[in-house]
A and B are shown apart, each in its own frame.
Chain A
């Protein structure tokens, strides 16, 4: 089973989960394990003939409660830790050939309630430090099941991207007395050249510093740390913003655009008032037929090179 291994070079944890090598890989639609179980048909993960939104424990989890016992490979330099946590799968719909972009605003609104429920419940567990909600969409991203779904990793540590964002937000607050993300939002809405969708409660934009093609960040206009702080109106506003953005993504090249959707919320332990909830979307298509690969400079040096200006990307997403 899994264990955490510390990378002393990059000062971050790696999850070693060798059992995941044999997980189900792109089965034909009639054997989709995420569809409802129909009478007389093979039993799927969902023992029901229909469902609205479903969450279940991942069959091939990277993290478990209780965690697996550690191997004896650690040393003074090579630290290991239990891979304690929970991995869940969130089924957006019982319709196999659908996507979040095709869901109604009301259904997305319902999904936001589910995400909120999972954030609070998983975050309340003693072993969990961070609840990471995300979606890998499309074969280009490497999904193993095409049925519309997302995932949740309830993690025993704050992952490095979030840790860096928290440190930046803290430093910005100390130096300027303001929220880094509120200031970014102000900068992005000033002339609107990188805005993609905006309403009373949210703004979605290709950031000035975008790394992926057609990368979009979506911020609430109010300074909020997590789903737990949203009002009903803000949840409705988020559902509308997500719908508009995802439709624009699908209109970009005329097909359902593969992407990674990362929901960045505050850690569930401690005070993190300086943090600002947001979504980040990372598509990989730089054209309809060409993908952005994380090659030598990105993977080996950690520096991204983009082939199009964020301003032009936003224009294209707006349909101009």
Chain B
């Protein structure tokens, strides 16, 4: 199962926006962060 995260935010005009992120990207970002350490 693909690990998907969603974050729902209300915009100033009341409309919603949903940000979807995925485990692969999180892993890559963590790996990149690690390489700077």
List A residues at the B interface (Cβ < 8 Å).
45-48, 51-57, 59, 106, 109-110, 113-114, 117, 232, 235
Contact = CB atoms under 8 A, between A and B. Distances in A.
A185 to B, nearest CB: 26
B22 to A, nearest CB: 5
Contacts of A54: 17-20
B30 to A, nearest CB: 15
B17 A47 contact: yes
Given A55-B18, A57-B16, 16 more contacts: A47-B9, A47-B11, A52-B20, A52-B22, A52-B25, A53-B20, A54-B17, A54-B20, A56-B18, A110-B4, A110-B20, A110-B22, A113-B2, A113-B20, A117-B20, A235-B2
A235 B16 CA distance: 27
Interface of B: 1-2, 4, 6, 9, 11, 15-22, 24-25
Given A47-B17, A56-B16, A106 B24 contact: yes
Contacts of A117: 4, 6, 20
Binding site of A, secondary structure by majority: helix, strand, loop or mixed?
mixed
Nearest to B4: A113
A235 B17 CA distance: 25
9 contacts: A47-B11, A54-B17, A56-B17, A57-B17, A59-B15, A106-B24, A109-B2, A110-B24, A114-B4
Contacts of B15: 56-57, 59
Contacts of A113: 2, 4, 20, 22
Contacts of B11: 47, 56
A53 B11 CA distance: 17
**Closest CB pairs A-B (n = 10):** A56-B17, A57-B15, A53-B20, A55-B18, A113-B4, A110-B22, A113-B2, A114-B20, A52-B21, A57-B16
